[in-house]
């Protein structure tokens, strides 16, 4: 598995968000910096899973077809 620039950016922003949230417990970074880091990492993650609905729909159709076959085999 080769890391792409999107993967690297996602982990950078996610680690930045965790760092800022931890720092918020002991110090005072601005809330806007925390929100920006969290939103950016989640936007990158959401972009990767945007075609998940299509994949899930295909999987669902395959499962239904499999169940039909199993019902036919169990009746005979």
Q: What is the pLDDT along the chain (76 residues), one digit of tens a residue?
A: 677 887 787 788 778 888 877 887 777 767 777 777 778 777 777 766 665 555 666 777 888 888 888 888 888 6
Contacts of 48 (CB under 8 A, 6+ apart): 6, 10
Per-residue model confidence (pLDDT) at position 14: 79
* Structural domain containing residue 14: 5-75
Count the domains in the chain: 1
Per-residue model confidence (pLDDT) at position 49: 65
Question: CA 66 → CA 14, 33, 61, 75, distances in Å?
Answer: 39, 49, 9, 14
Per-residue model confidence (pLDDT) at position 29: 67
0.85 exceeded by the pTM?
no
């Amino acid at each position: 598995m080769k890391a792409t620039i999107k993967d690297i950016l996602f982990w950078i922003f996610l680690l930045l968000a965790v760092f800022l949230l931890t720092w918020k417990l002991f110090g005072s970074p601005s809330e806007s910096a925390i929100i920006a880091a969290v939103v950016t990492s989640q936007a990158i993650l959401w972009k990767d899973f945007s075609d998940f609905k299509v994949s899930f729909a295909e999987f669902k159709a395959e499962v239904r077809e499999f169940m039909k076959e199993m019902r036919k085999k169990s009746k005979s």
